[in-house]
Structure 1
Amino acid sequence: MWHALENEIGAFLGRPYRILDRDLQEQSARRQIYRLSDGKLSLLVKIGDTELQELLKAQAFGLAELSRFGPLRTPEVVCVGATKGFSYLVMEWLNMEEPSRLGWQRLGEGLAALHQRQDQAKYGFDQDNFIGDNPQPNPWHKHWYRFFGEQRLAYQLELLAEKGQALVESEALLDCAGRLLKHHQPSPSLLHGDLWRGNVGFVDDQPVVFDPACYYGDREVDLAMTELFGRFDPDFYAAYDDDLALDEQYESRRELYNLYHLLNHANLFGGPYLAQAQQSAKRLLDLHRHQ
C-alpha cells in the first residue's frame, strides 16, 4: 500500500516521494490518518477502503470550493483517489497551535466574509457530499424551507426510521419546521457545513478550516453549529457580528438547525444523541406547535 501511495504522491508532485517517517495521528473503524515525511516535505494522508473514495473526493471538492471562493485558509490538496484496494486523500501538513484573541477574531472576520459569498440564487450544491460518514443530498431548491425540511431533516429522519429508531412525532416536527422557516428566505451563502471546533485550527493565528460539508444555505446554520458542542471564543462572535450582524430571530431558528446535526449523530452513533435529538424535537414542538 505505501509503495503505491508513494507513486501516487510522486506523480502529482512531479518528483519521487519516498516515505521516511510515518506517524499515525488518528484511527477509526473506517479510516486512518497519518503524517508522512520524505525528509523534506510533510503531508497528511487519510486512508480508507475503496468505499470511502466518494467521501474523500467530496471533502477535496469542498476544500477547493472554500479555497477558491473564501478568505479562510484550507489545507492544500495534493491528490485524492483510489489504488491497490484503498482510497486516499493527501493534503499539506500544517502545524496547528492554540490561538490568541487575534486568531479568533480573524476566524470571525473570515467566516463573515465567506458568508457574503452569495453568487447563487438557489440553495444546494453542485454535488452531493457527506456529513460525517452519512450522505448529504444537495439538489438545488428555490425555497429554503423546502431545502432544509426535505434534504436535511426529512432525510435524517428517514435514516433513523430505517434503523427502527423513528423519532416520536416526526411528521409534526417537519410541519413545525416548515412553518418556522416558511417566510425565512435568506440569501444563499457558501457554508462550511460542519463547523465545530474539531474542524478548525490555527497556524500563527491564521484560521484554517477543514473536513467541510459545503453547500449554499442560510449562514445561520454555520453559526448555530459553533454553539452545539461548546461555543467558540467570544471574540469570534464579536468579530463576526461587527462585519455581518445576525438577524434578531436567529435564536428562534438555532435549535432547529442544530437538530439536523443531532439527528446525524444519532444515525452515526445512536445512544445519547438519539435522546438529545428527541429532547430537541420536543422543545421545538412545545414552542412552535401552534404558531
Structure 2
Amino acid sequence: MWQAITQQLSDVLSFEFILREKERLNDGETNRCYLIGDGEQRYFIKVNERNCLAKFEAEFENLSALNATATLCVPEPILCGTTKTHSFLVLNHYVTKPLQLDADFYQLGQQLARLHCWGEQRDYGYDADTYVGLNLQPNAWHKKWCLFFAEHRIGWQLQLLKEKGIEFGDIETIVQKVKLSLAGHQPNPSLLHGALSRHNVALSFAGPLCYDPSSFWGDREYDLAIAEYDGPANAAFMQGYQALSPLDNGYQQRKTVYQLYYLLCLCNQYGGEYLIECDNTISSFLVEKH
C-alpha cells in the first residue's frame, strides 16, 4: 500500500517522495490516520477501505473550494487516490492544539463571517453530494431554502433512520412541519463549512484551522447553529462573527431546526443517547407553533 501511495504522491509533487517517516496518529471516527514525511516535507494522510473513495473525493473537492475563497483556513488537499486494497487522502500537515484564547475564537468567527459573505449563488445545494460521517448528504439544487432543508436534510436523515428500523413519527408530517418553520425565510445562499463541530477546529501556526468539511450553499445560520450546539461558538466567536455580519431576526427560532438535523446525523451514526435526545427534540418541535 505505502509503495503505491508514495509513487502517486511523487507524481503529484513532481519530485521523488521517499518515505522516511511514518507515524500512526489517533484515528478519526472513520479512518486510519498517519503522519508521513521524507525528512523535509510532512503530510497528513487518511486511509480507509477502497469503497470509501467517494467520501475522500468529496472532502478533497470541499477543501479545494474553501481554500479558493481565501477566507476560512483549511488544510490544502494534496492527493486523493486508491491502491489495490485501500483509498486514501493526503493533506498538508499542521501542528495543532485546541483553541483556548478568546482572541483565537474571535478570529475564527471573523473567518467564518468572511466565508459566508464570499461569492454569489442563486440556489441552494452543491454540484456534488457530500458526506456526514459515512452517510451520503444529497445536494440537488433547489430554489427554495425551506424545501431544500426539509427534504434533503431532515427528510433524508429520517428515511435513513427508518431503514434501520428507527422512527420518530411520520416522516411526511415532520418534513411538512420543517417547511412551515422555514417558510418565508429565503436567505442569500452562503458557501458553508457544513460540519463546524468542536472536533473539526484547532489552532495552528497560521491561526484557527478548520477541517473535515461537508460544504454546500445554504443558510449561513446553519453553520452557526452547529457551532453553538457542538462547536466553537462561545461569546468571543459570536462577537467576531457579528462584528462583520450581524445575525438576522429569528435566528434563535430557526436554530432549533438546524440543530435537529445535526442531532439526526449523530443518531444515525452512533445511536445510543442520541436516540432519546432526537425523540424529545422532535416531540417538542411538533407541538410548537410556527
TM range, smaller chain: over 0.9
- SS, match of residue 22 in structure 2: strand
Unaligned runs of 5+ in 1: none
- 1:5 maps to 5
Alpha-carbon distance, 1:198 to partner:
1.0
Matched residues in 2 for 1:31 and 1:182: separation? 39
Residue matched to 1:242: 243
**Residue number in structure 1 paired with 2:194:** 193
Query: In the alignment, what sits opposite 1:139?
Result: 140
Contact 1:160–1:167 (CA<8 Å) still a contact in 2?
Answer: no
Cα-to-partner distance string for 1:136-189 (whole Å, 9 max, x where unaligned): 000000000000011001100100111111112433321211111111000000
Q: Is the 8 A contact 1:97 1:204 kept in 2?
A: no
Question: Does 1:67 pair with 2:83?
Answer: no
Give the secondary-structure state (helix, strand or coil) at the position aligned to 2:89: strand
The count of corresponding residues between Structure 1 and Structure 2 is 289
8 Å CA contact 2:147–2:179 kept in 1: the answer is: yes
Question: Which shifted more, 227-236 or 145-154?
Answer: 227-236
Partner residue, 1:269: 270
Taking the aligned partners of 1:231 and 1:276, their CA distance within structure 2 comes to: 21
Q: In the alignment, which residue of structure 2 is the partner of 1:256?
A: 257
2:148 counterpart SS class: helix
Structure-2 change in CA distance of 1:284 and 1:270 (3 Å) = same
Q: Which moved more, 1:114-123 or 1:145-154?
A: 114-123
- Report if the CA contact (8 A) 2:224-2:233 is conserved: no
Q: Share of identical aligned residues, percent? A: 33
The one-letter code sitting in structure 2 at the alignment partner of 1:55 is K
Aligned to 1:183: 184
**CA pair 29-105 structure 1, distance change in 2 beyond 3 A:** closer
1:22 aligns with 2:16: no
Considering only aligned residues, what root-mean-square deviation do their CA atoms show, in Å? 1.5
Sort the Cα spacing of 1:286 and 1:29 in 2 relative to 1 into closer, same or farther, 3 A.
closer
Q: Distance in 1 between matches of 2:122 and 2:28?
A: 39
Take 2:56 and 2:118, find their aligned partners in 1: how far apart are those partners?
24
TM-score by length of 2: 0.95
Question: Structure 2 regions of 5+ residues with no counterpart?
Answer: none
Aligned counterparts of 1:227 and 1:170: Cα–Cα separation in 2: 26
Cα distance in 2, alignment partners of residues 28 and 65 from structure 1: 22
TM superposition score normalised by structure 1: 0.95
